[in-house]
Amino acid sequence: MDRLFAKTPCAGQLPLSIGGMTVSEVELGPMTALSPRKGQGAALAGALGAAHGLDWPGAGRATAAGDARAIWFGHDSVLLTGAAPDAALAGPGVLVDQSDAWTVVRLDGTGAEAVLARLVPVDLRAPGFGTGATARCRIGHMAGSVTRLETGGFLLMVFRSMAQTLLHDLKSAMEAVAARG
Amino acid sequence: MRVQGKGLIDRDRPVSFTFDGVGYSGYQGDTLASALLANEVRLVGRSFKYHRPRGILTAGSEEPNALVTVGRDGRQDPNVRATVQEIYEGMAARSQNRWPSLSFDLMAVNDLAAPFLGAGFYYKTFMWPRSFWEKLYEPVIRRAAGLGALSGQDNSDRYERAFAFCDLLVIGAGPAGLMAALVAGRAGADVILADEDARMGGRLLAETYEIDGKPGAVWAEEALAELRGMENVRLMTRTTVAGAYDQGTYAALERVSHHRADRGAGAPLECFWRIVARRAVLAAGALERPIAFADNDRPGIMTAGAVRAYLNRWGVSPGRAVTVFGNNDDAHRTVRDLLAAGVHVAALIDSRHDATRLDGVRMIRGGQVCGSGGRQGLERITVRHPGGEERIATDCLAMSGGWNPSLHLTCHMNGRPEWRRDIAAFVPVAGMVPGLRAAGACNGAFSTMACLREGAEAASEALNALGIKADQGTLPRAEETPCVLEPLWAVPGRGRAWLDFQNDVTVKDVKQAAVENFRSVEHMKRYTTQGMATDQGKNSNVAALAVLADATGRGIPETGTTTFRPPYSPIAIAALGAGGEGKGFQPERFTTSHAATLSRGAPMIEAGLWYRPSYFPQAGETDWQQSCDREVGYVRNAVGVADVSTLGKIDIQGADAARLLDFVYTNMFSTLKVGRVRYGLMLREDGHVMDDGTTARLGEDHYLMTTTTAAAGQVMAHLEFVTQGLHPEWDVSICSVTEQWAQFAVAGPRARELLNGLLDTPVDPADWPFMSCGAVSVLGGGGRLFRISFSGEEGYEIAVPARYGASLFDLLVRRAEALGGGAYGMEALNVLRIEKGFITHAEIHGRVTAYDIGMGGMVSAKKDCIGKTMAQRPGLEEPGRERLVGLKPIAAEGKLLAGAHLYRQEDAARCEHDQGYVTSVCHSPVLGRMIGLGFLADGPERIGEIVKMVDGLRGVTTYCEVVSPVFYDPEGGRMRG
């Protein structure tokens, strides 16, 4: 009997460590784009809190509760990760499955900020961009999402199809940072 | 000549290098310039136009003469300033713009022709005959005039770009910059201190000033040690801030590896920084002005400040018998420093009759150097003074015409500096660049004390504006000598007196420009080429305009300066474009079937950023046409599988979803039943076709729109514009799901049979008519099925979450092969759709209307839509427009070529007879000949007519019949099943 096998965007290529920095693939579990229906912002935020214990994140913020995370993803758009969306969200909100749409990696290590300074045109200095901060911005030439994690590392997301370019760009930047010592 | 006991070089670490193949030795800390001077090499280059021998003029990045080439092949780096390049073990530098050698340069014949090569020479001479310019004059001139050259090979060095952010950017690490950084750093602000030099300290390293009773260099080192200890301060050496831009953005070039013999794996040569600073302090110092006198370009003649820098910082005297020539007190320091170091000073010549006397040296007051002599290097000067003219033997002349503040950055946003008579120099005006304040010498404050004070004040002011509390503390003590000078720009007399050393512009050239009525400074610059070399006139600008002012009888302030533009000093294009070469050019988008496709040996083609298979070759096939024909056969006779995930997929939900679709599509979608799919056409606001595709209604207020691969981003942006800009009141959410689903076309007579082996509930044709859609279960997992066709056969598209894409593609292809079919690529896909007359962006190329492509009837009369009104403009519906037709060669072997134009049979293939053009062609296995789609004037009314296709580029003429664009199964019976 044939069956379908799942494959992650960076399967077999990560983790990658260069000079004290590490990129590793992250499986966040279900990912769902949430948008409020017209005039239902507060109701959707309430439902998110009640069902998942998550605050609705404002612009540039990400909230977390256990494995679940709500990452601001643009105008009227939040990405719920790490939990299947509760049915109660579907009333006030529009839900779109994005579980397979994104390449998700994390970048850790002391040079992480220096690496991202080569790819991301956003001020990532703490405390301005501390824990819980997120940005939709360019990563190299790609439209991406950058979030500072509680551990100090960064969560990076680009389109699934661009996984190879993300790895290429990260590797080049990590090599350049490492070569400077 | 190296001077014992002087300099900040490491004499325990000798460094060997070569210049023009000759080996020399220097020390760690030397620049190429200081090391060459230490080895008494004075001739280092040839001038741009006249190929005159030139030596080192300065000790900084403004150097106009000493340009060399470092490295070979892909690493060849031309026009490197010897004053900036640090030596490293094994470095090989070469002189440039000379032939056959530096000391014997045949091109120096230009110098003899100099009387004819003055200002405007090219403009006047090479006017006639016109055709000679491109073929003869320009190549010859370009060969003779020039700088260094690239190797012509790919640049194998790595460059990088980076972003940085700070509260305060301090540009320049001399006394003013160090003081500003200290004040801001101590206050806890996020500070970046950038300096173009390898070692911070600025003039403190080059002079013998004391601060707080310590040598300036020692004080600078202590300040730097304190700054290094602060986590909030970032020191960026070898980093030139090159441009000031809007909103506190500064461009900076960091030379990362030019000074390293071993650059290390992955290390960039240079890094191009974009620094965003809330406030900035410009502490860029000042540049010393040469004085124009006859033959002032001889190697051995340099600025006085440079002579002091070589002596004090590098322990080198550029001559054994030095003369000093100046118009200001500062030049006297040169004599004092040289004497203190035990170097013989032949004379001090001060143009001022009332200059302060200096003991220990022969001083000529009211004297002017009016000539120089020596073969390939200075041997003597001629001095004119109240007592007459005399010759003085000397091998180095240190000249000073005063200092120009380095205010360039303040002018980058179009501000104009103002003239200060007391220092005879332009100074910045506050606010020329918002958020930036000039401090110290670049602001016209020349004493060390004034620099420290202004640096501290500028930092305090910046911090105050940012709401950061700052304490200036007590300032260190330093000299506060006033700047005393009497302007002297050019010494009168015969002979050529150089202003712009790099572009060979003399005093006479500037005067000639004025005579010929190029009196505006901007016109003079372009007529003479003064200031247009790589030093951007840093050494010559003010003197040239002073000469122009004199020649035109105006004052210097009225004459004004030319415009300073970024970059402050040259930046390699490779650095500006860092990261953009090779794989960095643009992202690559791969489908989930990419690896499997490659493993089947398929050549890939780019569709936007996506990579898609062209065809899947099989053993025994010798060209793509065979593979393509075979793959077309799969779909026509059995079943073919193609990855169509690259098409844009947009999820549209909300109570107003149907309204949105009715508004953006020409046809109606609100009437579409749930579980059905409809083809739609979308117009731009100007009425031309933007895109087409199918949209499925998944639920009452839930649609899934499909776009073409190429226009997915454009359509998404269009929908964002409509929902955010035109109808923000609508209840509708849009979200791209292109990446969420892997989607495969399964087409052919046996398509259903193939799918039924994978679907948990087999497809019942009664439930799945043509243009239906719905959720399905694929081997136990969720998926979507659409019964649509781009091939004219019974076709389906099956979608699963992308994680299963690779796995599903593998199964589909294997099973298709078992049924006598297999995978097909873009070539076969193209043939299948041309045979059916389906359009792509080859047809909807941006200049056609719905009417042109025969879809005028799809623009619903019952509703408005974007582009409808504009599509009704008179010119867009009139007879004679080129409209879509099919084309079939009369002869079975006749060739059709996309891009070829169409003419009446009897007309010559000329522009005025043009009747249309061919957009898509293929060899049709079904018809056994080539077929094509194209646009022909009144095409649909000319079915059956014979037209002439002419491809002028490839020299092909083919007579073809105008036919319906649908070549295959026009009734659509096969597709509907």
* Same domain for A43 and A104: no
For β-strands B239-245 and B249-255, DSSP reports them as: antiparallel
For the residues of B787-802, what is the DSSP string, one character each?
---SSSSSEEEEEEEG
Residues 189-248 of B with CB under 8 A from A: 190
Helices and strands, number each (H, E), in chain B? 24, 49
Strand residue runs (E) in B96-186 = 159-171
Pairs of residues, one from chain A and one from chain B, whose beta carbons lie less than 8 Å apart: 140
Helix/strand/coil for B884:
strand
- Residue B142: both structure tokens together: 């370009």
> Is B802 part of the contact surface with chain A (CB cutoff 8 Å)?
yes
Helix (H) or strand (E) holding B963: strand B956-963
Distance CA A78, CA B287 (A): 55
Number of Cβ atoms within 10 Å of the Cβ of B210: 17
Q: Does B161 touch chain A (CB under 8 A)?
A: yes
Q: Indicate if the pLDDT at residue B539 is higher than 80.
A: yes
Query: Is A126 in the same domain as A167?
Result: yes
Classify residue A176: in a domain, yes or no. Answer: yes
Mean pLDDT, rounded, of chain B: 95
DSSP B385-433: ETTEEEEEE-SEEEEE--EEE--GGGGTTS---EEETTTTEEEPPTTSS
**Do residues A123 and A139 both lie within one domain?**
yes
pLDDT above 90: residue B110: no
Residues A52 and A106 in one domain: no
Radius of gyration of chain B, Cα coordinates, nearest whole angstrom = 38
In the predicted model, what is the mean pLDDT of residues B706-718? 96
Q: Has residue B914 got a pLDDT over 90?
A: yes
| A67 part of a folded domain | yes
**Residue B897 contacts residue B921 (beta carbons within 8 Å):** yes
Last residue of a domain, one of A53, A70, A97: A97
* pLDDT at residue B143, rounded to an integer: 67
> Is residue A118 located within the same domain as residue A141?
yes
Tell me the chain B residues in contact with residue A37 when contact means C-beta distances shorter than 8 Å. Answer: 654-655, 731, 733
Report pLDDT digits (tens) over B120-133.
776 676 666 767 76
Q: Is residue A9 part of a domain?
A: no
Is the model's pLDDT at B757 over the cut of 90?
yes
pLDDT at B145: 63
Chain A positions touching B263 (Cβ under 8 A) are 179
**Domain extent at residue A170:** 16-27+100-180
Torsion, Cα A45 A48 A53 A57, to 10 degrees, reads -50
Write the CA distances from A57 to A74, B349, B445, integer angstroms.
11, 74, 52
pLDDT at B97: 81
Would you say residue A7 lies in a domain?
Answer: no
- DSSP H helical ranges for B51-117: 109-112
Check if B895 contacts A (Cβ < 8 Å): no
Report CB contact under 8 Å: A165, B583.
Answer: yes
B816: which 2 tokens? Answer: 């298709």
Asked if residue A92 belongs to a domain, the reply is: yes
The pLDDT of residue B496: 94
Q: What is the pLDDT of residue B113?
A: 75
- The residue of chain B nearest to residue A180, with distances taken between CA atoms, is B267
> How close B542 comes to chain A (CA, Å)?
38
Average pLDDT over residues B336-360: 96
For the segment B895-910, the average pLDDT, to the nearest whole number, is 97
pLDDT at B563: 87
Tell me how close the Cα of B424 comes to any Cα of chain A, in angstroms. Answer: 42
Q: How far is A5 from chain B (nearest CA, A)?
A: 6
Q: What is the pLDDT of residue B126?
A: 65
- Nearest alpha-carbon partner for A112 in A29, A34, A28, A18: A18
- Mean pLDDT for B90-100 is 89
Query: Is the pLDDT at B700 greater than 70, yes or no?
Result: yes
Residue B761: pLDDT band (50, 70, 90) is: very high
Cis peptide before B762 (omega within 30 of 0): no
Cβ pair B733:A35 closer than 8 A: yes
Mean pLDDT of B628-654: 98
Tens of pLDDT, residue by residue over B363-414, are 999 999 999 999 889 999 999 999 999 999 999 999 999 999 999 999 999 9
Same domain, A36 and A122: no
State whether A21 and A110 are in the same domain: yes
Does residue A51 lie in a domain region?
A: yes
Please say if the pLDDT value at position B265 is more than 80: no
Residue-level pLDDT at B534: 86
**What integer is the mean pLDDT of B937-959?**
97
| Whole-number Å distance between alpha carbons of A168 and B571 | 26
Q: What is the mean pLDDT of residues B894-912?
A: 97
* Predicted pLDDT at B122: 67
* A46 and A91 both lie in a single domain: yes
pLDDT at site B142: 67
- Residue B679 above 90 pLDDT? yes
Contacts of B588 in chain A (CB under 8 A): 162, 164-165
Q: What is the Cα–Cα distance from A107 to A17, expressed in whole angstroms? A: 10
As a whole-number percent, the residues of chain B with pLDDT over 70 amount to 98
Q: Give B375 or B251, the one with higher predicted confidence.
A: B251
Residue where one domain finishes, among candidates A72, A97, A122: A97
Long-range contacts of B612-619 (CB under 8 A, 24+ apart): B612/B643, B612/B646, B612/B709, B612/B825, B612/B826, B613/B643, B613/B823, B613/B825, B613/B826, B614/B825, B614/B826, B614/B827, B615/B824, B615/B825, B615/B826, B615/B827, B615/B828, B616/B822, B616/B823, B616/B824, B616/B825
Looking at the predicted structure, is the pLDDT value of residue B485 above 70? yes
Q: What average pLDDT does the segment B275-284 reach?
A: 98
- Same domain, yes or no: A73 and A108: no
In terms of domains, do A39 and A92 share one? Answer: yes
pLDDT above 80 for B618: yes
Distance from chain centroid for Cα B175 = 34
Is A173 in the same domain as A89?
A: no
User: Does the distance separating the beta carbons of A101 and B161 come in below 8 Å?
Assistant: no
Tell me: pLDDT of B88 over 70.
yes
What pLDDT was estimated at residue B93?
Answer: 96
Q: Could you tell me the CA-to-CA distances from B458 to B203, B416, B512 in Å, in that order?
A: 19, 20, 44
Flag if B586 and A141 touch (Cβ within 8 Å): yes
pLDDT at B111: 80
Q: What is the mean pLDDT of residues B173-196?
A: 98
What pLDDT digit, counting tens, does each position of B70-87 carry?
A: 998 889 999 999 999 999
**Angle, helices B624-637/B826-836, rounded to nearest 10 degrees:** 60
Number of residues that this document lists for chain B:
977
pLDDT of B359 reads: 92
Tell whether B610 lies on the interface with A, counting CB pairs under 8 A.
yes
Task: Render pLDDT for B571-584 as a digit per residue (tens, 0 to 9).
Answer: 999 999 998 989 99
DSSP letter string, A63-131: EEETTEEEEEEETTEEEEESSPPPGGGGTTEEEEE-TTTEEEEEEEETTHHHHHHTT--S---TTTT-T
Indicate which CATH number applies to the domain containing A88: 3.30.70
pTM: 0.94
Assign B20 to helix, strand or coil: coil
pLDDT digits (tens, 9 = 90+) for B388-397: 999 999 999 9
> Does the pLDDT value for residue B264 go beyond 80?
no
A94 vs chain B: nearest CA distance in angstroms? 7
For residues A88 and A140, membership in a common domain is answered with: no
Q: Do B804 and A4 touch (CB under 8 A)?
A: yes
B587–chain A nearest CA distance, Å: 6
**Residue A2 falls inside a structural domain:** no
Q: Which of B557, B581, B283, B642 is nearest to B437 (CA)?
A: B283
Domains and their CATH numbers in chain B: 1-152 (3.10.20.440), 159-286+405-466 (3.50.50.60), 290-401 (3.50.50.60), 496-567 (1.10.10), 600-646+740-833 (3.30.1360.120), 655-731 (3.30.70.1400), 878-977 (2.40.30.110)
**Which of B739, B743, B807, B813 to mutate: most A Cβ within 10 Å?**
B739
Give the pLDDT score at B820. 98
Domain end call among A97, A115, A150: A97
Q: Is the ipTM of this complex over 0.90?
A: yes
* Whether the predicted pLDDT of B829 surpasses 70: yes
B841 pLDDT exceeds 90?
yes
Chain A residues with CB-CB distance to B592 below 8 A: 7
Give the bridge partners for A157, in sequence order.
Answer: A104, A145
- Sequence-distant (6+) residues with CB within 8 A of B136 are none
pLDDT score for B380: 97
Residues of chain A with pLDDT under 50: none
Q: Do A175 and B651 touch (CB under 8 A)?
A: no
Model confidence at B830: pLDDT above 70: yes
SS3 of B14, please?
strand
For B40-71, the pLDDT digits (tens) are 999 999 988 888 999 999 999 999 999 999 99
**φ, ψ at B403 (rounded to 5°):** -125, 140
Total domains in the fold of chain A: 2
Which pLDDT belongs to residue B515?
A: 94
**Helical (H) or strand (E) element with B692:** strand B689-699
E strand or H helix that includes residue B34: helix B32-38
A115 in any annotated domain: yes
CA distance B75 to chain A (A): 18
End-to-end, the C-alpha distance of chain B in Å comes to 95
CATH code of the domain covering residue A139: 3.30.1360.120
Q: What Rg do the C-alpha atoms of chain A give, in angstroms?
A: 17
